[in-house]
Amino acid sequence: MASPVFPEIERVLFTEEQVAARIREVAGEISAKYRGRDLKLIAVLKGAVFFLTELARAIEIPVKIDFLAISSFGNGAPGMVRIAKDLDDPIQDEDVLLVEDIVDTGFTTRFLLQTLAGRAPRSIGICTLLDRTVRRIVQVPIDFRCFEIPDRFVVGCGLDYKQHYRNLGSIAVLKQN
Ligand code: IMP
Ligand code: MG
């Protein structure tokens, strides 16, 4: 769907309808697992915000939400991240679900998991929109995942290329230059 609006798109992996349907399925699994509990969804700005809002609307139990932001240091070496904006509230004794846009090497997710686990939540789980297991370097336990993707850079549904394409409704592969 190369278009004047999105000229760098090579092909669509998952259409907007497929993404919406799959998010509803996973939201159903989450609702079933956490029914009767007090769930807090936590997402990292900015990529996972799109997924979190769609997921939260499809979850059928009450949820709270909170956000944090991270930034890289050390010349962008993998895993060298720090918290740039922290959560608004403590998570002690809460059931926390970390909502990720993509788990790639796993370094970012592991950092987040360790950071949040240190704050004594009642439980902590991981839900990711995309999982690229072929590039995994550190193992992280993923509880819910919408799609496994091949070893290509993707955009859409919050994922960016140089801050663009986050508002693309589908998940698409960028042209290789
Ligand atoms: P990890 O630490 O290698 O797992 O990388 C996770 C982060 O890299 C994600 O939160 C994204 O911001 C970014 N990222 C990894 N792969 C892609 C991609 O295909 N498209 C857009 N961003 C990506
Ligand atoms: Mg990014």
pLDDT tens for each residue of 56-83: 999 999 999 999 999 987 776 767 889 9
Count Cβ atoms below 10 Å from residue 112 Cβ, excluding itself. 21
Question: Alpha-carbon distance 25 to 58, whole Å?
Answer: 9
Q: Please state, in angstroms and rounded to a whole number, the distance separating the CA atoms of residues 103 and 100.
A: 7
Which atom of ligand 1 lies closest to the CA of 152?
A: 19
Lowest mean pLDDT across 75-89, 94-108, 152-166: 75-89
Q: Which two tokens stand for residue 95?
A: 């059931």
Tell which atom from ligand 1 comes closest to the C-alpha of 47: 12
pTM greater than 0.85: yes
Protein residue with least CA distance to atom 16, ligand 1: 104
* Ligand 1 mean position, distance from CA 37 (Å): 31
Confidence of residue 176 (pLDDT cuts 50, 70, 90): confident
DSSP type of residue 5 = S
The residue whose CB lies within 8 Å of the most ligand 1 atoms, and thus the one to mutate among 9, 104, 133, is 104
Please give the pLDDT value at position 80. 81
User: What is the rounded distance in angstroms from the CA atom of residue 4 to the CA atom of residue 135?
Assistant: 32
Q: Closest by alpha carbon to 175, among 6, 17, 19?
A: 6
Query: Does 170 have pLDDT greater than 70?
Result: yes
What's the rounded mean pLDDT across residues 120-132? 98
Q: How confident is the model at residue 39 (pLDDT cuts 50, 70, 90)?
A: very high
Tens-place pLDDT, residues 19-32? 999 999 999 999 99
C-alpha 108 to ligand 1 mean position (Å) = 8
Structure tokens at 25: 């399925």
Ligand 2 centroid distance, CA of 56 (Å): 21
